[in-house]
Every structure is written in structure tokens, then in C-alpha cells.
Amino acid sequence: MEGRRWPIITFALIALNIVIFLGTHWTIDKQEPELLGVRFETLIFAAAHPDVKLPENLQEFVADYQ
């Protein structure tokens, strides 16, 4: 019985997925302080201007802190 060859394409796809995951993970970590700043400014804006119509996702975010 002859042995099968190495699954090179499978290993390449796994390696590519790991590289993409690590690249996006580090990018997300770098953006975290900026995201917190945006959230804080959104809450201040919503508190200062309660009559302004916000998009639905921001309304839910602000409602969580009221």
C-alpha cells in the first residue's frame, strides 16, 4: 500500500487563516482606545442634544446607559 502525499493546500489554507486572524486581532487591539473615545463622545452628544434623532444602533447603545 502506497502512502498518500502531504496535504499541502490544506496546510497553506490553515497558515493563511492564522496570519489573517493575527493581523486583524492586532488591528482591533490598536483601535480599542479610539473606539472608547467615540463611544464616550456619542454619550456626551446624546446627553447634550436629547431631541436629535440617532440611528437605531446608536439609540440602543445610548439607551443602555440611561
Q: Which residue has the higher pLDDT, 11 or 2?
A: 11
Instruction: Report pLDDT for 3.
Output: 67
Residue 42 within a domain: yes
Cα torsion 66, 42, 61, 59: sign? positive
Residue 41 within a domain: yes
When divided into structural domains, the chain yields a total of: 1
Q: What are the angstrom distances between the C-alpha of 57 and each of 11, 20, 50, 54, 64?
A: 40, 28, 16, 8, 11
Residue 23 within a domain: no
Angle of helix 56-63 relative to helix 8-48, nearest 10 degrees?
Answer: 70
Query: Residue with C-alpha cell 502525499?
Result: 5
Gap between the Cα atoms of 26 and 53, Å rounded: 34
6-60 residue pLDDT tens: 889 999 999 999 999 998 888 888 888 888 888 899 899 988 988 888 888 888 8
pLDDT surpassing 80 at residue 61: yes
